[in-house]
Amino acid sequence: MSKLQVKIWDVQHGSAAYIKTPNGKHIVVDLGTGDVSGDTSLPYETFSPLKHLAKNYQVQQIDELIITHPHTDHIDDIGNLDLFYINTLTAPRHIPKEDITKGNRSSDAPKIEKYLNLLTRFNGAITEYNNPNLPSNNGGLEVDIYGPINCGTYNLNNQSLVVFFTYAGSTICIPGDNERAAWKELLEKDSFKNLLRKTDVFVASHHGRESGFYEEVFDYCRPYITIISDGPQGDTCVAHKYRAKTVGWKIHSRSSKSSNERKVLTTRKDGSIQIECYESGGQSYLVIGVE
């Protein structure tokens, strides 16, 4: 059976997702890392999604690497990219180097340098043959990517790419860390609003913080489930606002072997989140599970 498989990794206050297309290609969105020791009495252990993909999933090639924006919590795992052959890179390329540098801590300079080198390395034209966003190359998966271009580049959050994955009647939206100004610009596009109308799974912008919540988005978007990729809850978490805008969906738990209707999932409480979209017997299915 052909299916779209999506994994939203638990990388604490970061962002990382893995997509396996219906025809077996591999897409990575963002490069966050996180602590998965689960026990504060144990030594800190950093989880690398890229190492996990190479070791446990036997992935050798990333057909498309998408980096929504160059904040270090979205590129922490960049040092492990050498484990893979990378076909194409999609990232916001209009941001001046000085703004990228100023927007991150000085201690993260080596990671920023690797990111800038990556942009230079993958600067060639993408042909129809190797274009990872064409449904014909992805087993029918539609990939649509939007990005604000008129917001001030000093705020890296507002340069985030927004990625939509559509397959078997379901759409998943991963919007980086966009804030009010970026959302306002993106909502000027009818095609963007149409994709929001189709969105069933919405990953909250900026880790569920108040700054990433924009009320007008939900004039067009009424997802079945909202996912927040976050670490320890802060004062600015607005999960309650997302809950009020979300319909609800049956979520399967591997550990308890039970199913319950939920509106908001958080990696902080639920761990990594798995999504499958497929068709069977003339019907479309959206299956969401937690650890």
User: What pLDDT, in 10s, does the model give residues 44-95?
Assistant: 668 999 999 999 999 999 999 999 999 999 999 999 999 999 999 999 999 9
Is residue 273 scored above 80 in pLDDT?
A: yes
| Contact of 175 with 187, CB cutoff 8 Å | no
CA gap 43, 251 in Å, rounded: 32
Distance CA 21, CA 276 (A): 10
Q: What is the CA radius of gyration of the chain?
A: 18
pTM (two decimals): 0.95
Specify the amino acid at residue 154.
Y
Mean pLDDT of 185-197: 98
pLDDT at 231 over 90: no
CB 198, CB 6: distance < 8 Å: no
pLDDT value, residue 235:
66
Going by C-alpha positions, the residue among 185, 160, 179 that lies closest to residue 67 is: 160
Domain definitions of the chain by residue range? 3-290
CATH number of the 3-290 domain? 3.60.15.10
For the chain, the average pLDDT equals 94
Q: Are 177 and 212 within 8 A, CB to CB?
A: yes
Residue with tokens 């738990």: 253
In 3D space, the residue among 112, 37, 110 whose CA is nearest the CA of residue 71 turns out to be 112
pLDDT band for 127, please (50, 70, 90 cuts): confident
Give the DSSP letter string of 134-182.
Answer: -GGGTTT-EEEEE---SS-TTSGGGG--EEEEEETTEEEEE-TT--HHH
